[in-house]
Amino acid sequence: RIASRVRRHTATRARAKERTRDGRGTSDAKTTPNARCMLRAVARRSTTTATTTTRGFARTRLGERRGRRGRDATRATRATRREVMVGTSAASMSAIGAGRIGGANATATATKRATSEDAKATLDALENLKPGTRLAGGAFEVTSTKRVMPYDVVAVELEHVKTGAKVLHVGADDSNAGFNVAFRTTPRDSTGVAHVLEHTVLCGSEKFPVRDPFFNMLRRSLSTFMNAMTASDFTCYPFSTMNRVDYKNLLDVYLDAAFFPKIAAEDFSQEGHRFEFAKMDDPTSDLIYKGIVFNEMKGAMGSQSARYGRALGENLFPTSTYHWNSGGDPVNIPDLTYEQLKAFHALHYHPSNAKFYTYGDLPLEETLQQIEDSALHRFDKLDVSKLIVEDEKRFTAPKRVEATVPADAVVADANKQSLISLAWLMVNQIEDPVSLDNFALGVASDLLTSGPQSYLYEALLEPGLGSGFAPGTGYGGSRRETSFAVGLKDVADADMDKIEKTILDVLERVSREGFPRERVEAVMHQLELDSAVVTTQFGLYTGFGAFSTWVHDGDSLRALRTPELAAKLNAALDADPQYWQKLIKKWFLDNTHRLTITARTDPDYDKKLDEAEKAKLKSIEKTLTEDQKKKIVADALVLKENQDKKEDVSVLPTLIVAEAVPKEIKRWGSKNMKIAGNIPLQYDEQPTNGVVYFSTHFDLDGLPQRLVPYLDMFMDFIDQLGTEKMKYKDLAEQIKLRTGGFSVGSVVRTPTDGKGTPTMSLSISGHALERNVDAMFDILTDLQTAKWRGEEERVKLLLTRRAAALGASVGQQGMQYARNLAGAQISATSALSNETSGLPHVGLVSRLSKEGAIDEVETAMAEIAAFALRPERVQRCRIACQKERFSATERRFAKFLKDIKPVTASPSDKDTVATKLKTFKPELSKVFVSIPGQTNYCSAALPALPYSHPDAPALFLLAQALSAGYLHREIREKGGAYGGGCASDPMSSLFTFFSYRDPNTTETLDTFTKSIEWATNSENITTKELEEAQLRAFKQLDAPLAPSARGNSGFLTGVTDEERQRFRDGLLAASPADLSRVAAAHLRGVAPAIAIIGSSEKAPLADASWVNLDAQGAPRVA
């Protein structure tokens, strides 16, 4: 995790993903923090779990394939979490005050040894449980146990005797205990009943009858994860925490919410949908729809990628539950009734239809007893056979369909906007629960589509038939029956038939020749590396990986079977030279359940939806009687009164800061030394499980300013163009075979006192298994000779793909673009980030692609390489590994550094990055960027305080209090936005407000301003609000870190342990009065910079006080 404002380039977070798949799923140019969490079914060994604590809809999509190179084959795809933005502070702040929850900072060696021995004894005891053993007073019966290596966990399966509820416990030496309960939910329409119910059950329950226990618990716990998710065929409620009291508290709240919710009518109207008048108390104003899920799904479905993926899925599954949009289509959501919602809960939310998952080192029987006492003892067994998801009726012959989808926000070529895909329905995961074919098809998918050396990349993208693979490309295992899809976006209508024929020809070729074994070995290496890498997500993701099949009474351990299946596949390949040929023939060529889908774009797609909605509402309005109108007004006022009511939430459990939060920071024991002469080296000795990590930073302060706009392309293309020794396809294969990939980004260090000029560096980092460290540095050395010239066709393809990806990203990641745009007006570092990865970059890449300006790109990238990749530019280095591997790694790292040889003379100019940062002057404005879509992303930014300022901790806490309280109530509950909040970033001295998937614009901006006035009133921020703000702050600052990340924030930021401790002391010492005081002293009356990325229908074109732009940054006029 990266300390705030040490800005790894925005695109860097997606770079490993984007480069390695090289053209697949080009709808994601960047990854917006908190906007998406891909739930991996591949289990990795872990010690802790950390992620954003939010709630949202998880829409499973056909062929989800995201992540680093080669790893897609290991993912039996899973639900994608669409999160609510609840006002988390700058996500990267988490590492600055990293501390250990619920314990001292140091543990003696003897205590560690004893703990390890205790953990082993606990796992041994779990393994020794025999089938038939009764636990929790006889309430649960053990059905199986299995020790799973190399993860060294014990899986215990149990059944609740009275109700038949199933339990999977994965015991592990991991203090970050996890819980999840899932219900098979099988919608028969697209009203979003399962999704609305997921929201509504968390709005109060029998034992906790407050308005919103879920969001209240977000600020009353130290959870490392809290969420609720609706997938295509199940709904689940997960959490994790490292605090045992917290675990019991959350388990109590979650169980009561799931099994005994209020499901009040007013909560349904708030979370789902309702009628209101545009002026709430004026029945003569326009009738409108409101509702959180309604607006959430407008945003979720507001992209070409989402609409195309939905069309693909509903046509591949024409008869089963997967035909429907489980999250809800905004066109259909208003058809859902309150009575239908309650009936759906009664039928689906029963223990007999439940799967409980627990993880970690907490005593199993203790958790089982709480589940029994809090919920299950009140139920009897129910026949849930009617909820079984029927298998899809297989096609007897291939089918073809056509669809219409929205155009992207930026269109590179008006003559090439169509999409085409071929999709196949494949393995039934319930009939064949541990299918080698299933696993092998994932590997085949990787070989067919991942990287420039893949078969379909070569056949489809290199000839320029499209800008990238179509949404949904890849192998998907998130449903009962798996599927594979492949296609292209941004294609000419005249090329449709050619593309279809090419895909089939490639598959025919593979059915004759098979795959080269060395290519397969590269994928297998990635599987091995995945299993070795220690992450903070192992526990929960193992559970997520299980549910797609387990909810259908299929395999519960599929997420843990990767090593087992990899070994079986290798054995099968050894035994049968025709293995791949037979597999491709069976599942592709002889498979009649094949769909060809083509889609044309409509630039007015969302406008037509808006017009249809308004026409429908006008029609309804004409039929309303006066009494009905009065009731709509009365219901709206009652809901508002309920939302404004100050509740007594003392019935909810809470942690106490003084008891749960350590006063001392966590010190990672980083060692500072020198490498390759006099270069600073930070060594972090950590239990990295045989994986070695490195980072090196190159000074960019003197980089000519004219090259800054091209920096992101340089970082993206550096390992995609080939080198003096290797062509780009061979390079991609070697990276996949020997490493976990390289991450290239920019890092900006800001002085903690806010004085002086920030500094900018180029960061190159990577990791590899111990045996491949030499090979990793050999590849890195070779990358210095990247072919910046002479690869015109390759650069043209990469540029085309990048332009398409960025064009799609504007609508999908509008909040991040809006925050960048607002911050750029008042912060030098934000302005730099906006130039390299914000809307100006979108416009630049679009122009370069349209003009075919290959020479311009090559020249700029060659100059950046000549400036940055020089021995004198190396600023600092870092190694993270186990002790026994350090010496060999350090020697090889030093050799790499000494071998750095500049290719050409370094460019120099008067105007540089440093001069730009030093001479930056704020210029406030109000900017509206019009994009296709039905929702908006609003942001306002104000100057704040630097990290070492005495008031910075209080301002940081104020952002937590505002986000969890006033802004949540006004923006989400009342305004109907999916989420909103604010963040204080002391590393950039920036205070930012934002809203997400918001139906409003200027109303939300008014709310931002009013929130400051609210905060200055000392009566509004009490001791309770302070405690909750502190818990929210420390769950971010103390979020668990993977071993490879421990110590990394100090390396990136330069923030010392002493500075971190002072900031932590300030957080703990703050009073309610301090929060009100800093709001008045530093925020009240300060003019904000404003940016909105939103629906073109909302653009204030007639208001001269606004700057109106299109998605490429060009002026837009009325």
Measure the CA–CA gap between 621 and 835, rounded to whole angstroms.
47
- Reported as half-sphere exposure (CB side, CA atoms, 13 A), residue 26 has a value of 28
- Enter the tokens of residue 744: 């290239």
Measure the CA–CA gap between 27 and 318, rounded to whole angstroms.
25
CB neighbour list of residue 410: distance below 8 Å, 6 or more residues apart? 803, 806, 807, 810, 842, 846, 1111, 1112
- Enter the tokens of residue 50: 């950390």
Strand partners, 880: 684, 693
Alpha carbon distances (Å) from 680 to 34, 672, 710, 750, 874: 34, 7, 29, 19, 9
Measure the CA–CA gap between 345 and 348, rounded to whole angstroms.
5
- Enter the tokens of residue 1011: 């929130």
Within the chain, how many helices (H) and strands (E) appear? 36, 32
- Enter the tokens of residue 604: 């007015």
- Enter the tokens of residue 65: 């394939």
**φ, ψ for residue 4, nearest 5 deg:** -60, 140
Measure the CA–CA gap between 235 and 223, rounded to whole angstroms.
20
How many other CB atoms are found less than 10 A from the CB of residue 116? Answer: 11
Question: What DSSP string describes 140-167?
Answer: EEEEEEEEETTTTEEEEEEEETTT--EE
CA quadruple 800, 801, 805, 808: dihedral positive or negative?
Answer: positive
- Enter the tokens of residue 831: 């302005």
Is the distance from CB of 428 to CB of 470 less than 8 angstroms? no
Is the distance from CB of 552 to CB of 322 less than 8 angstroms? no
Strand partners, 1094: 930
Measure the CA–CA gap between 272 and 282, rounded to whole angstroms.
22
Measure the CA–CA gap between 607 and 494, rounded to whole angstroms.
28
- Enter the tokens of residue 969: 């109530």
What b/e readout covers 784-803, taking b as 16+ CB neighbours within 10 angstroms? bbbbbeebeebbbbbbbbbb
How many other CB atoms are found less than 10 A from the CB of residue 69? Answer: 24
Q: What is the chain's Cα-based Rg?
A: 28
**φ, ψ for residue 855, nearest 5 deg:** -60, -40
Tell the burial category of 1118 from Cβ atoms under 10 Å away from its Cβ (0-12, 13-18, 19+). Answer: exposed
Question: What DSSP string describes 946-1014?
Answer: -TTSTTHHHHHHHHHHHIIIIIIIIIIIIT--SEEEEEEETTTTEEEEEEESBS-SHHHHHHHHHHHHH
H or E element in which residue 366 lies? helix 364-374
> What amino acid positions are annotated as catalytic residues?
198
Measure the CA–CA gap between 1091 and 931, rounded to whole angstroms.
13
Measure the CA–CA gap between 335 and 324, rounded to whole angstroms.
14
* Strand bridging mode 166-171 / 979-985: unpaired
Q: Pick from 421, 356, 829: which is nearest to 551 by CA?
A: 356
